[in-house]
Amino acid sequence: MCSYIAEGRLFKKCRHFVRLQVVAMLDCGSRLCELSIQHPKSCKNRSCTNYLGKEIQKPIVTYDEFCWACQSTGHAVAA
Ligand SMILES: [Zn+2]
Ligand SMILES: [Zn+2]
Ligand SMILES: [Zn+2]
């Protein structure tokens, strides 16, 4: 199944990935996947998959700290 490739920020202390943008779609090349360009438009096979795989996360910036969500919920205070 296909997946999105997303760029974002990685916060090392909580290992959270904050997505900035989806940069590309990784095509799985399967003719049984409705999201693939290999899938025939005329296909009537109902067993074809049409859901996305796990997003591939590409950190373009890495911070040696907690993300804002963790900071605001107080998780960062204990460390
Ligand atoms: Zn696919
Ligand atoms: Zn199909
Ligand atoms: Zn976090």
Q: From the CA of 58, how far away is ligand 1's center (Å)?
A: 19
Number of compact structural domains in the chain: 1
- Ligand index nearest the alpha carbon of residue 11: 3
Q: Let me know: does 38 contact 7? Beta carbons within 8 Å.
A: no
Which-ligand-closest: CA of 74?
Answer: 3
Task: Provide the pLDDT confidence category of residue 74 given band limits of 50, 70 and 90.
Answer: confident
Cβ partners under 8 Å of residue 50, min gap 6: 33, 34, 35
The alpha carbon of 71 is separated from its chain's Cα centroid by a whole number of angstroms, namely: 23
Distance 53 CA to ligand 1 centre (A): 8
pLDDT digit string (tens) for 53-73? 999 999 999 999 999 999 998
| 77 vs 4, residue with greater confidence | 4
Host domain of residue 51:
3-78
